[in-house]
Amino acid sequence: MPTEPIVSIRQLTKHFGSNQVLKGIDLDVQPGEVVVIIGKSGSGKSTLLRCINGLETFGGGSLQVAQQALQHKDKKAMLALRQKVGMIFQGFHLFPHLSAGRNVMLAPTLVKHSDKTQAQEQARQLLARVGLQDKFDAWPDQLSGGQQQRVAIARALAMNPSVVLCDEITSALDPELVGEVLRVVEQLAEEGMTLIMVTHEMGFAKKVADRVVFMHAGRIHEMGHPSELFTNPQTAELQQFLAALH
């Protein structure tokens, strides 16, 4: 029996003013799949992620997460959706006035009304999972960029999401810190987490992705297994994109 996709997108469109950023996106993501989205700046990659977790409203088409349609006008439905979708941003977005542990505890206590002791225990476990077991009481400004991003990953996991979205999560980091964050993401992939990632790290995409999606000018231009896509690009646009990376 084929499983239901965890994310199902049909003919999704999005305009910013007169500029059409997404031009009819169709994409299904299966539970446990790692999908990496690549493409030039301005191709619509980040906008697509922001539509999936409801940060952007879309113009036309439909979007479902865990068989629930995205309905921007229904606050209750949006809150339920955001609990299913974890998002990790380029710029960490940690609360500077909260310790690492409190950053991780915040959503479960506020949104799920988790018991404080339980939330604290979970936060400690999640920080250990991202290799920061001794940083519960550290302030964000005492942490390196890589450590802050790992706290942000732990925070995204605190809601037990069905899907985790990663939007260029290493592009604000110094090169020597990129590896420590990608190792955590790789571990999540091995554990069977559904991941949709926008990244410029092609080596990582080759290693971890089940499928690579190449976006160009607001459309999905090519899609396939990394071994096919990187070694045998079918379109001139993808050939040029890959050539420009070397």
Q: Residue 90 carries which DSSP code?
A: T
Distances (CA, A) of 69 to 11, 66, 80, 241: 14, 8, 11, 34
What angle in degrees, to the nearest 10, is found between the helix axes of 116-129 and 145-157?
Answer: 130
Q: Which tens digit of pLDDT belongs to each residue from 196-221?
A: 999 988 999 999 999 999 999 999 99
Task: Name the CATH topology of 7-245.
Answer: Rossmann fold (3.40.50)
Name 134's Cβ contacts closer than 8 Å, sequence gap at least 6: none
Tokens 């070397």 label which residue?
246
Is 88 in a helix, a strand, or coil?
A: strand
Q: Which long-range contacts (CB under 8 A, 24 or more apart) does 236-245 make?
A: 238/214, 241/38, 241/39, 241/40, 241/214, 241/216, 242/202, 245/202
Q: Which two tokens stand for residue 207?
A: 């290693």
Domain ranges of the chain: 7-245
User: Rounded distance, CA 87 to CA 189, Å?
Assistant: 15
Tokens 């974890």 label which residue?
86
Q: What is the pTM of this model?
A: 0.92
pLDDT confidence of residue 213:
97
Amino acid at 232: N
| H/E stretch holding 206 | helix 202-208
* Residue 214, phi then psi, degrees to nearest 5: -100, 115
Amino acid at 10: R
Low pLDDT (below 50) residues in the chain? none
User: Rounded distance, CA 106 to CA 46, Å?
Assistant: 25
Q: Which tens digit of pLDDT belongs to each residue from 67-106?
A: 888 877 788 888 788 888 999 998 888 999 999 999 999 9
Tokens 């191709």 label which residue?
43
pLDDT confidence of residue 67:
85
User: Could you give the count of Cα atoms lying within 13 Å of 80 in the half-sphere of its Cβ?
Assistant: 13
